[in-house]
Amino acid sequence: ALALSMSRATDGSKWRFLEHKGPVLAPPYEPLPGHVRFFYDGKPMKLSAAAEEVATFFAKMLDHEYTTKDIFRKNFYKDWRKEMTSEEKSKITDLTKCNFTEMSEYFKAQSEARKQMSKEEKLKIREENERILQEYGFCVMDNHKERIGNFRIEPPGLFRGRGDHPKMGMLKRRIRPEDIIINCSKDSKHPKPPQGTRWKEVRHDNKVTWLVSWTENIQGSIKYIMLNPSSRIKGEKDWQKYETARRLKKCVDRLRAQYRDDWKSKEMRIRQRAVALYFIDKLALRAGNEKEEGETADTVGCCSLRVEHIKLYPKMDDQEYVVEFDFLGKDSIRYYNKMPVEKRVFKNLQLFLENKQPEDDLFDRLNTSILNKHLQELMDGLTAKVFRTYNASITLQQQLKELTSPEESIPAKILSYNRANRAVAILCNHQRAPPKTFEKSMQNLQTKIDEKQKQLSTARKQLKGAKTEHKIGGLLEEQLMNLQMQATDREENKQIALGTSKLNYLDPRISVAWVKKWDVPIEKIYNKTQREKFAWAIDMAEEDYEF
């Protein structure tokens, strides 16, 4: 299998045969019933279908804070006007005079009604969804029937980027068949466009893995329909990724020695490269490509760090040479960290900061392309992101070794596993907003624990001397322990998201080996989807697997 996948990689073709049914298009717009009105300046006003549709997008978001934001409103209003008839355009001149509440109430009622539907109605919908899944959700790639990832075209709506996005509120336009490129093999049954329409193009490019693509109008980027993570093509790629990270493991000592040496280089660009690489390695920062200003939220990664994102403290409390990081990374998630660094790194950073303004680049002689070219020379296939994969996986393996005690119960082992996973999530800065119901659910759990404690103490009193004491007391004790561990796990997980690292950074063979070694049911670690995605690893890894 390895040889086969390698040969596939070398000739560049990803498949020989590809057949699918094409995408599921967004349902057409259904005009509002007559009694649901839009008001302008206090008076009801009937909108054209096109203008009404865009208005409904806004109405559906009325409860969100961002509809109050200036940029959102400005962008929405500008794009909305483009959909209006000239008459509407001349009438509607001020967004603050627009009243969408009746529309908003209507949609709320609709969703309420959906919840109240009878079992039969819900079943009917489920069956229809299942039918669509069966028809459009699978394709044939080479000799396999494979699950498709996202076979639905994204419906129109208002764009809501993350963080302070300059384009929030813009209209994401409806995608028509004429916008869509189909990719499949020549000798397959081509997907049919809906009656009376045609695809933009049907091509047969087996150097790529996507089945359908279209260009989105907000950033002008291309969107794709690709296979599900459980597919052969994704699985092999994933496996390859971890093999690259394992190769890094073999030479990481050499690379670390090298960049430490480069801290002393005569050349500025080499010093910058070496300090950046140190951050990427030590802090698991992302590479940090440049971004076009005004097109996206202002976020950075390692190479795009600016002077304003770090602070240097020669002394802080009892530590020397502390660097404080404070910046917005991917998805505008804040990265905040204080790290003591070696004197040489500190001196270099001082040098990089000389004569610069806060908004200047910290590494002005470096970008991701330069860095990756350098890495490529150090190891075949090495790029900045491999460090994240490597450090995440090696951390999991080390933490599992350190935290798992042979004699502890299965729930205790799972807590240990989650703690190891948590160490990685913290390294990678995978945060989440604490769930809205967090406090409540912690309270509920605490109530359960208290009850269990009471049960245990009454049981102890009543059963004094009885020969079942040991058995029942033991059971209750175990239940109590499990609840307490659940509470600990949940508390520690309050602001940490484990999913991303589990799915994208942790070599699944480490986890598979661990469950095999300790006889932990794999279902406790991976749910059904995850087991499907990692089927290759579950097949492959034995308990002695070493990353």
Partner DNA sequence: CGACCGACTTGTGTGGAGAATG
Partner DNA sequence: CATTCTCCACACAAGTCGGTCG
Positions marked catalytic: 505
- Size of site (CB under 7 A) for DNA: 87
Angstrom distance (rounded) from CA 537 to CA 502: 13
Q: Is residue 214 involved in binding DNA (CB under 7 A)?
A: no
From residue 301 to residue 330, the character string flagging contacts with DNA as x (rule: CB under 7 A) and all else as - is x---------------------------xx
Residue 156 per-residue DSSP state: P
Residues of span 32-71 touching DNA by CB under 7 A: none
Q: What is the DSSP string of 111-142?
A: HHHHHH--HHHHHHHHHHHHHHHHHHSEEEET
Tell me the angle at which helices 508-518 and 410-427 cross, rounded to the nearest 10 degrees.
160
Select from 153-161, 395-403, 453-461, 511-519 the region that touches DNA (CB under 7 A).
153-161
Residue 215: helix, strand or coil by DSSP?
Answer: strand
Q: Is residue 433 involved in binding DNA (CB under 7 A)?
A: yes
Q: Is residue 423 involved in binding DNA (CB under 7 A)?
A: no
Among 29, 40, 66, 224, binds DNA (CB under 7 A): 224
Residues of span 233-272 touching DNA by CB under 7 A: 234, 237-238, 241
Q: Is residue 511 involved in binding DNA (CB under 7 A)?
A: no
What region does 484 belong to: left with phi over 0, alpha with psi -120 to 50, or beta?
Answer: alpha
Output the smallest distance, CB 85 to DNA, in A.
27
If the CB atoms of residues 185 and 530 are measured against DNA, the closer one turns out to be 530
If the CB atoms of residues 231 and 399 are measured against DNA, the closer one turns out to be 231
Angstrom distance (rounded) from CA 350 to CA 83: 54
Among 390, 505, 514, 547, binds DNA (CB under 7 A): 505
Angstrom distance (rounded) from CA 138 to CA 147: 5
Residue 321: helix, strand or coil by DSSP?
Answer: strand
Q: How far is CA 340 from CA 56, 134, 351, in A?
A: 53, 55, 17
If the CB atoms of residues 149 and 473 are measured against DNA, the closer one turns out to be 149
Residue 166: helix, strand or coil by DSSP?
Answer: coil
Among 297, 307, 310, 449, binds DNA (CB under 7 A): 297
User: What number of other Cβ atoms are within 10 A of residue 310's Cβ?
Assistant: 17
Residues of span 97-116 touching DNA by CB under 7 A: 111, 114
Among 122, 204, 254, 264, binds DNA (CB under 7 A): 122
If the CB atoms of residues 228 and 404 are measured against DNA, the closer one turns out to be 228
Angstrom distance (rounded) from CA 177 to CA 26: 11
Among 82, 124, 440, 454, binds DNA (CB under 7 A): 440
Q: Is residue 527 involved in binding DNA (CB under 7 A)?
A: yes
Among 99, 104, 209, 399, binds DNA (CB under 7 A): 209
Among 213, 391, 416, 511, binds DNA (CB under 7 A): 213
Output the smallest distance, CB 237 to DNA, in A.
4
Select from 15-23, 44-52, 92-100, 215-223 the region that touches DNA (CB under 7 A).
215-223
> Among candidates 504, 451, 518, 514, which has minimal Cα distance to 480?
451
Angstrom distance (rounded) from CA 44 to CA 402: 68
